[in-house]
Chain A
């Protein structure tokens, strides 16, 4: 078990910088998710911690040891790849125990450890099979068993669930989370799927173009997005954005739309200032027409999501969506009003994209 500390990590391929000065501290036992769009450098960062890529600059310390120049095998980390990376010429049991056998650990000691991880991941019936005779989910379980049996200081996962179908992905996600509650091994998990990140993480590191855009618990990231990029990236359905101008009385106006913002959240907004408002569809509620602060528009589309529905409306030329359980009573062309609690309105600087909220 160990904490991880990355200082001023830089990585470039030739002249092309991929990671531009990352600083990151992960306490012992934490489950951290690197989240971000494809190509933002998540895997590169993870692979540098694993030792599979050299850093161009910076220092990586795991459990008090500077591992920056150590080979992967001496860092005490285990990694699970998206492509499983099982050894095709070995049986499942041999795959799992290879690392231990290589270290010269006695068979008598390996056997119970193998039995334990196989039982934990439900792999007992498959131990004699070759990896190619397993399904994708089973193969990923073998890869996890192979990482677990070494009892490493740190687990690294690089999009381990991306090759699986949705249902299996959800199941394995829960299993990984449960496993972490049991083992408490420090874990870094890479994904581009924001829902996966929200459900599994203690802390999310949201990355964009080789930099950390925001770091925080799933709640912080969801409720207090530091930038418009974070706000847009997190949450389904995606946030509504609306360019507006501040007026007297802390009211943001865009055409006929007028929304009152909380003066405690946004004390420094001045009349005449341009802002970009962010409204989460899930934070809005149907309300009677004429309610103060309500938005009124016509229904353009209703998307059934089961328990709830997403209603896409046209409000004074702006497309706005909200979710409601009462979507079944709405039809295209209906007039509809909905409101948001001022505490849930986000406002961003239109130029920099930074949140204008004061903590």
Chain B
């Protein structure tokens, strides 16, 4: 009996924790579908007539629409290039240059010690000189520092966890280095690499400061979302909520796509 009670207790506690953790997000999502008068009522409303007006407002608003598009381009390109360069580099570091690996990893990590402002100001000057200030290309370029370094930093341990004997067994079957990487190291390390990519994606998707300083017309979504909150007294809560949902959605879609890709990759080798 005591066991049962404690089991129930644990479940209740877990349920409470989940509600506390997810509550704000849920409230935001609900708010995105409410009209303003349903949001500002003194008594919170759970039952209301849902509306897509907020989303319509956002997607009709060219600033937000462009922000979304810019974010999508900048983030996907910088994560993609970061993965294409960072993952093979990490494999080489993990397998063939272990003695340099720790130094490289620390260097990469040290890039993240620097306050972003310290990077941003010199970059403004350089970018103005080069004529790439306020361009998507310029933003992608700075983000590449983050994406390549983060991918390497997280992928080296992922590849180190791949048993070396597996790669050797593949070599015994006649696979060359590229084939071993592609058919064995990558699929076996895939679950950890997946985490690394998601983390990197979220890192740059949420990036505000560099985007704020290095771009003006070509602002990304976080910049636009931040500017909505400073609209004055008449806060359009519904629109903000909808913007938040739009901001959160792409990482989720991205995770879904990546999972699908990995699942197909992780099948059985040549047919």
Please report A residues at the B interface, Cβ cutoff 8 Å: 50-52, 71-74, 77-79, 81, 83-91, 94, 98-99, 101-103, 146, 150
Contact = CB atoms under 8 A, between A and B. Distances in A.
A73 B268 CA distance: 20
B37 interface: no
Contacts of A99: 173-174
Interface residues of B, number: 22
Contacts of B172: 50-52, 72-73, 77-79
Interface string B150-189: 0000000000000101101111111110000000100110
A102 B173 contact: yes
A101 B270 contact: yes
A94 B171 contact: no
Contact of B187 (A51, A73, A89, A102): A89
A256 to B, nearest CB: 56
A166 B171 CA distance: 31
Nearest to A88: B188
A51 B170 CA distance: 12
A93 to B, nearest CB: 9
A89 B174 contact: no
A78 B270 CA distance: 20
A146 B170 CA distance: 11
A83 B174 contact: no
B175 A87 contact: no
A84 B163 CA distance: 10
8 contacts: A77-B172, A79-B172, A86-B166, A87-B169, A87-B170, A90-B268, A102-B173, A102-B175
A77 B184 CA distance: 20
Contact of B269 (A50, A78, A98): A98
B271 interface: yes
Given A81-B168, A98-B269, 18 more contacts: A52-B168, A52-B172, A71-B174, A72-B172, A73-B173, A73-B174, A79-B172, A81-B169, A84-B165, A85-B166, A86-B166, A87-B166, A87-B169, A99-B174, A101-B271, A102-B269, A103-B174, A146-B169
Contacts of B168: 52, 72, 79, 81, 85
Contacts of A72: 168, 171-172, 174
A85 B269 contact: no
B246 interface: no
A16 to B, nearest CB: 15
Contacts of B170: 87
Nearest to A79: B172
Given A52-B168, A90-B269, A91-B268, A85 B174 contact: no
B173 A98 contact: yes
A90 B271 CA distance: 12
A204 B208 CA distance: 69
A71 B169 contact: no
A103 to B, nearest CB: 7
Interface in B3-47: none
Contacts of B203: none
A74 B174 contact: yes
Contacts of B142: none
A291 B172 CA distance: 61
B266 interface: yes
Contacts of B270: 98, 101-102
A78 B187 CA distance: 23
Nearest to A50: B172
B161 to A, nearest CB: 11
Contact of B171 (A52, A84, A87, A98): A52
A49 to B, nearest CB: 12
Contacts of B166: 85-88
A157 to B, nearest CB: 13
Nearest to A82: B165
A338 to B, nearest CB: 48
Nearest to A94: B268
A177 B198 CA distance: 50
A114 to B, nearest CB: 13
Interface string B253-271: 0000000000000111111
A87 B163 contact: no
B183 to A, nearest CB: 9
Nearest to A98: B269
Nearest to A95: B268
B254 to A, nearest CB: 23
A72 B171 CA distance: 6
Nearest to A85: B165
A91 B268 CA distance: 7
Given A94-B269, A101-B269, A101-B271, A73 B171 contact: yes
A147 to B, nearest CB: 8
Contacts of A71: 171, 174, 176
Contacts of A50: 172
Given A73-B172, A73-B174, A85 B163 contact: yes
A132 to B, nearest CB: 12
Contacts of B173: 73, 98-99, 102, 150
